[in-house]
Structure 1
Amino acid sequence: MSSQLDFIVIGPGKCGTSWVYKILNQHPEVCVSSAKETLYFEEYFHKGDDWYSKFFKHAESGQLLGEVSNTYVFSKEVPARIKEKYPNVKLVSTIRNPVDRTFSHYLFLRRNGTLSCSFEEALVIRPDLQERGNYHTFFKQYEEHFDRSQIKVLLMEDLRVDNRQYADDLFSFLGVKGRLSDEILNEKVLPASKARSPLVARMVKASAGLVRKLGHPELITKIKYNKRVTGALYGEYKEGEKPVLSPETRKELEEYFSLEVEQLSDWLGRDLKKVWQFSK
């Protein structure tokens, strides 16, 4: 592996990382790893640079190198490992209203057959659903190892309002020029859906885990972004079929996240309770 890794998108998942991976993959000045989630700094750090380098074999001269992860942001060990290998790397996180992220994560786990219970029950048996919305806590772990100027935080809400400005902000931070077409920016990536067969979805998830353990996460990426495959496995919700987040549960989660959001607002210099329309 080259001594140069220019950027890492550290997550969290369910906040637009798939869209970010897509536009980075389409930019001529950028080379993203062939697997969206190599998990190198998380589960496979012991495999070393040679193993990691295989995900960048397609890189062309002069391109920036980077990877996109859904989970690096949560780990206590990952920041130190990244610092050890690439102390000058740029770090990007894309976040959203933590209540919406929590519910979206729940829908994802229903989609792949992991959960079949109500959202309220899921919060009890899977406390990590809401814990993963404690963004400020996770960013402080990274700030222990990296200068604040190396960390860029983007909001999914801004992406929905103006995807071109969002992309421009990302590219400017990374130091790349040029603009992508509206067609690329507006293409939907992995829209919300349900499993056509929960049993098959669970089997696919288990198979993907095995493939990843065997050291071939790039195969998962190819399948995940193949529209024919995903179309066969998942379908759109029918009217009235999609689970809905109740106002009562939303309010409870807003109270849970309140202090974290206040701290993050101070850290970013932006009133996120206003952006995320938290109730008074």
Structure 2
Amino acid sequence: MKELARPPLDFIVIGAIKAATTWLQVQLQHHPQAFMPDIEPHFFSRDHGNGWEWYRGLFPDHKETRVLWGEKTADYLANPQAAARIAAAYPDIKLVVQFRNPVDRAYSDYKMLFRRGHVSGDVASYLDARQAEMPRFLDNGLYAHHLDRWFDEFDRRQMLVFLFEDVKRDPQATLVQTCQHLGIAPHYDGDLAARSQNDSSERFLPLPIRRALAPLKPIAKPLRGHSLFERTRGLFAREIDYPPLDDDLRSRLQDFYHADIQALERLIGRDLSHWLQPAAHSNAA
């Protein structure tokens, strides 16, 4: 490995997918003492073959001593190789991991791929362990199984763990705790925190239009938030009618995750019994 090609990384947000990792990324990107790329690099998971020069190119040419560099890739947590790859390159790095009720997480992940047109409307074919076609939805919620692998590579003091519910209940305290873990001054933007990130209740353009306009996303990004752009988009955007997660399938999902949830309780010292309660309907954004 070329030492000059490797970025001097200080922290990584490793997941889980659909557990408010984008919310944390946006908050830290607005922190004056932190830098994070806009994209999820996936460098220690699926895109490791891109090489260190590519990864280094995601960061500025020079690093100010007062600024920490980090990145967020939500699939690192569940990737079987990411922990060992990160430990080999950055053994002392600080990590942040976020957990969400795995049933809600799986359904939210399904909804994200549904609105992108990657999965069909047959929810059970993806979320019922007896017939699941894509391991991603179920496997990514086996948090204790994945966390064991990270604890094999890193000292537990290097990792900050919090829950999706912590963000919902007290986003400011959660961000302050994150800043303390990273060793930077607390910095909280209330207006920024109030905005939804990757919220499935958002209004979207119809899928054919989104696909047709996909090449123009870099051009349109600076225009988002401008009144004329948003008014024009609002003429066509609609809420998506997602296939529902019925009580029977939710109950089977809870059974699937039951043992792993109990193991996670022991690993992180948090009471997660509310994740195992009878179905309390959730929008699972």
CA contact (8 A) 1:196 1:233 kept: no
User: Residue in 2 aligned with 1:216?
Assistant: none
Cα distance, 1:279 vs structure 2: 3.0
Cα distance, 1:195 vs structure 2: 5.0
Indicate whether 1:103 and 2:107 are aligned.
yes
Indicate whether 1:247 and 2:256 are aligned.
no
User: Residue in 2 aligned with 1:213?
Assistant: none
Alpha-carbon distance in 1 for matches of 2:207, 2:138:
24
User: Residue in 2 aligned with 1:92?
Assistant: 96
User: Residue in 2 aligned with 1:237?
Assistant: 239
Amino acid aligned to 1:196: L
Q: Which runs of 5+ in 2 are unaligned?
A: 280-285
User: Residue in 1 aligned with 2:59?
Assistant: 56
More helix by share: 1
Decide whether aligned partners of structure 1 residues 143 and 226 sit closer, same or farther in structure 2, where only a CA change above 3 A counts.
farther
Indicate whether 1:20 and 2:24 are aligned.
yes
Alpha-carbon distance in 2 for matches of 1:158, 1:114:
30
* Residue 45 (structure 1) aligned to one of 48, 72, 78: 48
User: Which range moves more in the overlay, 26-35 or 155-164?
Assistant: 26-35
Query: In structure 2, the residue corresponding to 1:33 is in which secondary structure?
Result: coil
User: Residue in 2 aligned with 1:278?
Assistant: 277
CA contact (8 A) 1:110 1:116 kept: yes
Indicate whether 1:4 and 2:3 are aligned.
no
Alpha-carbon distance in 1 for matches of 2:222, 2:265:
34
User: Residue in 2 aligned with 1:169?
Assistant: 177
Alpha-carbon distance in 1 for matches of 2:222, 2:197:
10
Alpha-carbon distance in 2 for matches of 1:60, 1:106:
38
Amino acid aligned to 2:278: S
Indicate whether 1:114 and 2:122 are aligned.
no
Indicate whether 1:138 and 2:146 are aligned.
yes
User: Residue in 1 aligned with 2:186?
Assistant: 178
CA contact (8 A) 1:31 1:59 kept: no
Decide whether aligned partners of structure 1 residues 253 and 48 sit closer, same or farther in structure 2, where only a CA change above 3 A counts.
same
Cα distance, 1:270 vs structure 2: 1.1
Cα distance, 1:225 vs structure 2: 10
Alpha-carbon distance in 1 for matches of 2:257, 2:236:
32
Cα distance, 1:50 vs structure 2: 2.3
CA contact (8 A) 1:41 1:82 kept: yes
| Equivalent residue pairs, number | 264
Alpha-carbon distance in 1 for matches of 2:16, 2:90:
20
Q: CA RMSD in A?
A: 2.9
Alpha-carbon distance in 2 for matches of 1:234, 1:139:
43
CA contact (8 A) 1:94 1:155 kept: yes
CA contact (8 A) 1:3 1:86 kept: no
Alpha-carbon distance in 2 for matches of 1:39, 1:28:
24
Amino acid aligned to 2:182: L
Percent identity, aligned pairs only, is 27
Query: In structure 1, the residue corresponding to 2:71 is in which secondary structure?
Result: strand
Decide whether aligned partners of structure 1 residues 127 and 45 sit closer, same or farther in structure 2, where only a CA change above 3 A counts.
closer
Query: In structure 1, the residue corresponding to 2:141 is in which secondary structure?
Result: coil
CA contact (8 A) 1:7 1:91 kept: yes
CA contact (8 A) 1:16 1:156 kept: yes
